[in-house]
Amino acid sequence: MYNPQLNRHGELAHLLSIEGLPPHLLRKLLDRAADYVAAGERDEKKHTTLAGRAVFNLFFENSTRTRTTFEIAQKRLSADVFSLNISASSTAKGETLLDTIHNLEAMGADMFVVRHAESGAPFLIAKHVRPGVAVVNAGDGRHAHPTQALLDMYTIRHYKGDFHNLTVAIVGDILHSRVARSQIHALTTLGCPQVRVIAPKTLLPRDVQQLGVQVYHDMREGLKDVDVVIMLRLQNERMNGALLPSANEFFKYYGLTEAKLALAKPGAIVMHPGPMNRGVEIASAVADGEQSVILPQVTFGIAVRMAVMATLAETKQ
């Protein structure tokens, strides 16, 4: 089957989604990230892997946090970094998305990191770039957010070692979450035997069971004996619609409290992609508690993004 992310040697040419990536490629990215984490701990923060390369962060949807993590990773790799707020640029003048891309290629762009509200936009771009130009999906619509999923896998492996004996629960707004979709693909690809999703029916996609997960509507049942709890961010705008009663109600049923966390395995870790809504999907006592690995996730996220971009830069055509 044609996979737009891989070249004909089966190497990573773009990172568009976790879906379609073989397990050995995921593990290779995690291993390389581990090297960067280790180098950082030795205070070797700066590398020359992307020196002289022009990397463009094209954020058609605003996200200071994600853009900043990519920029940090790029500067640590010594890239020339250009971040464009696309709504304010030429596309506003009627230029098409592909005209913009082809122009930036003509200016010498070597890599595009793309965030877009439309699912599939990074695929469209990857299909049309020159050989040698790489595309990284930094979140597209409800579809995928592969670097977030990779840093989550890195975090789980860091704290729990192997995936083969783990039970992982993903809690919250699965329906609108590109993060959840990518996490589920990554966990099943890496051999995690039991992935649970915990959510009200209104926040679950219809076909969710086809992704190989077990569905729970009751958080106390779903958290029982899990090794890893991944909380999702609740978008405030969902609260006003018919999908959810109120933030208070949501917290009562699906917010992670110390009492609910006590149902998980002792030593279970708590994760969140950030930014957190304290008191909505997670209690502050848990967010700042001993089992929380939310800040280490952020640290590992830099190393994972360095690993992805360094790997892409070294892929031969």
Supply the minimum distance, in Å, between the C-beta of residue 53 and a second copy: 8
Q: Tell me the HSE value of 53 on the side-chain side, using a 13 A CA sphere.
A: 25
How many angstroms separate the most distant Cα atoms in the chain? Answer: 57
From residue 143, give the alpha-carbon distance in Å to each of 7, 179, 203, 226, 244. Answer: 22, 8, 15, 26, 22
Supply the minimum distance, in Å, between the C-beta of residue 64 and a second copy: 4
Based on CB atoms, which residue is closest to a second copy, 131 or 266? Answer: 131
Residues 243-282 as b/e (b if ≥16 CB within 10 A, e otherwise) read ebeebeebbeebbbeeebbebbeeebbbbbbeebbeebbb
Supply the minimum distance, in Å, between the C-beta of residue 216 and a second copy: 27
Supply the minimum distance, in Å, between the C-beta of residue 37 and a second copy: 11
Based on CB atoms, which residue is closest to a second copy, 89 or 209? Answer: 89
Based on CB atoms, which residue is closest to a second copy, 141 or 274? Answer: 274
Q: Give the interface with a second copy as residue ranges (CB under 8 A).
A: 40, 45-46, 51-54, 62, 64-65, 68-69, 71-72, 75-76, 80, 82, 84-85, 88-90, 93-96, 99, 102-108, 236, 274-278, 295-299, 301-302
Q: How many other C-beta atoms lie within 10 A of the C-beta of residue 115?
A: 23
Distance between CA 229 and CA 142 in Å, rounded? 21
Based on CB atoms, which residue is closest to a second copy, 101 or 166? Answer: 101
Distance between CA 250 and CA 271 in Å, rounded? 18
Based on CB atoms, which residue is closest to a second copy, 6 or 247? Answer: 247
Supply the minimum distance, in Å, between the C-beta of residue 116 and a second copy: 17
Based on CB atoms, which residue is closest to a second copy, 21 or 269? Answer: 269
Distance between CA 44 and CA 65 in Å, rounded? 23
Provide the pairing of β-strand 80-85 with 54-59: parallel
Supply the minimum distance, in Å, between the C-beta of residue 316 and a second copy: 14
